[in-house]
Amino acid sequence: MISQTRSGSGITVAVVGAGGNIGSHLVPHLGRCDGLSGVILVDPDHYTVANLRTQAFPGVDVGQTKADVQARRLRNINPHLDVTSIPEEIERLPWGRLSADILLSCVDSRATRLYMNLVACRLNLPWIDAGVGGNANLARVTVLAPGAGRPCFECSWDERDYAAVESRYSCNHANEDGSTAAVSTSSLGAAVAALQIFELERWLGGGDALGTELVIDLKSRNFFPSRLDFNPSCRMSHESIEIERIEHSPEELSVNAALVKLGDDIDAPLNETWLRVTRSWFATQLTCVECGHVRQELLLAASLTDDDLRCQVCGERTVPAGIDRIDTSHPDPVLNSSLADAGLRSGDVVTVGTQAKEKHYELA
Ligand SMILES: [Zn+2]
Ligand SMILES: [Zn+2]
């Protein structure tokens, strides 16, 4: 699904966090960058008045989704680019929607970076990650092309990094809404965005993304370039997956039909065949934190809405628990429901397999 050539005019870039402190400064440069034909902009947030201080967007667009606003800016700068706006969290997105040649990320949470590392490894995508830190004076750009023997984002991680996975960079200011998501200055965001574009242009020009990191302390004017090392005991498997596109949509296939049809494709005995989805596990049980009521479900956890998560007895919050894989041991109502009913969407990548073998399919 992914072309690796950098000659000609077919390069598509996917930007995750496209409307924030770094992303909003980055996007206009993409419109002026030679060698790009497509840009996918992913950002779930909406612009607020507070964002006007640190992010690049017109004030009339307060209240609009960041992805849509930046897509419009980009089309105005370069009407020849194929621009796709996706106002969603990357963690909820079917992997087929990320059919790009390279990922650029401008996100503010380690948990999201961890997830992006999984996506980059499995889809064999080069990845340029940008971040800020250190009282709004550190700019960082990391260039990676994970693979066998090549460093990934987690190769340099130790226990403390994993423990801090929920924390966010640059929490030195609180936002107007009281949240502590990364807030850096407009100038720092713009500086990091420019560095990220330099690295993209280096890659577009044929440079290899072997694993480098550049950190600049803009207050002390020090810069720290480094080469990242592959770690043989890295927690992340660096293996990429081959994905076959199929004609069937999640509406057309029942869980059982998917197990039969795709299991047959790999000659797997039906009673040993399982199915999972690359982006999420399945919630099978929702337990109310207030009244203890338990509801049985089969819904992709990443597809659960606030409504799904509300207790049907008392209206309080429920906690989902579930499984990675589904198989023919599930009751008939589950097996006969469609993949769409189970929360799968067009572009979702499903893995069908047995203990011995597995294969990956992208749903139409
Ligand atoms: Zn690694
Ligand atoms: Zn309840």
Same structural domain, 112 and 142: yes
Give the containing element (helix H, strand E) for 284. strand 282-288
Same structural domain, 125 and 249: no
pLDDT range class, residue 117, cuts 50, 70, 90: very high
Scanning 157-310, the segments in alpha helix (DSSP H) are 159-163, 186-204, 255-265
Same structural domain, 168 and 22: yes
Domain count, the chain: 2
- Cα 285 to ligand 2 centroid, rounded to whole Å: 13
Q: What is the pLDDT of residue 136?
A: 75
Same structural domain, 149 and 32: yes
pLDDT range class, residue 167, cuts 50, 70, 90: low
Averaged pLDDT, 94-122: 95
**Residue 171 domain flag:** yes
**Residue 232 domain flag:** no
Same structural domain, 223 and 247: no
241 has a pLDDT exceeding 60: yes
- Cα 232 to ligand 1 centroid, rounded to whole Å: 8
- Cα 9 to ligand 2 centroid, rounded to whole Å: 55
- Cα 236 to ligand 2 centroid, rounded to whole Å: 38
Q: Give the CA distances from residue 149 to residues 118, 155, 228, 234, 243, in Å, rounded to whole numbers and listed in that order.
A: 16, 11, 12, 11, 22
* Exposure on the CB side of residue 20, measured as CA atoms within 13 A: 24
Smallest-distance ligand from the CA of 288: 2
- Cα 22 to ligand 1 centroid, rounded to whole Å: 25
**Residue 204 domain flag:** yes
Same structural domain, 214 and 267: no
**Residue 235 domain flag:** no
Q: Kindly report the length of the chain.
A: 364
Same structural domain, 139 and 269: no
Residue 261 domain boundaries: 243-362
Give the containing element (helix H, strand E) for 287. strand 282-288
Same structural domain, 282 and 358: yes
Q: What is the pLDDT of residue 260?
A: 95
4 has a pLDDT exceeding 60: no
Residues with CB under 5 Å of ion ligand 2 are 288, 290-291, 293, 311, 313-314, 316
Mean pLDDT value across the chain: 91
**Residue 5 domain flag:** no
CATH number at residue 24: 3.40.50.720
257 has a pLDDT exceeding 60: yes
Smallest-distance ligand from the CA of 233: 1
- Cα 268 to ligand 1 centroid, rounded to whole Å: 31
Smallest-distance ligand from the CA of 235: 1
**Residue 67 domain flag:** yes
- Cα 31 to ligand 2 centroid, rounded to whole Å: 50
* CA–CA gap between residue 289 and residue 50 (Å, rounded): 34
Smallest-distance ligand from the CA of 311: 2
Instruction: Specify the pTM.
Output: 0.90
CA 111, 203, 24: angle at the middle one, nearest 5? 50
Smallest-distance ligand from the CA of 293: 2
Same structural domain, 143 and 203: yes
With a pLDDT cut of 70, the percent of the chain lying above it is 93
pLDDT range class, residue 146, cuts 50, 70, 90: confident
Which of 169, 201, 227 lies at the terminal end of a domain, its last residue? 227
pLDDT range class, residue 1, cuts 50, 70, 90: very low
Which of 195, 227, 259 lies at the terminal end of a domain, its last residue? 227
Q: Where are the beta strands (DSSP E) in 49-204?
A: 82-86, 102-105, 127-133, 138-144
Which of 227, 252, 273 lies at the terminal end of a domain, its last residue? 227
Same structural domain, 43 and 163: yes
Same structural domain, 221 and 311: no
- Cα 239 to ligand 1 centroid, rounded to whole Å: 10
Same structural domain, 247 and 204: no
**Residue 195 domain flag:** yes
- Cα 269 to ligand 1 centroid, rounded to whole Å: 34
- Cα 235 to ligand 1 centroid, rounded to whole Å: 7
- Cα 230 to ligand 1 centroid, rounded to whole Å: 6
- Cα 331 to ligand 2 centroid, rounded to whole Å: 25
Looking at the chain, the number of H-run helices and the number of E-run strands are 7, 16
* CA–CA gap between residue 277 and residue 229 (Å, rounded): 31
**Residue 153 domain flag:** yes
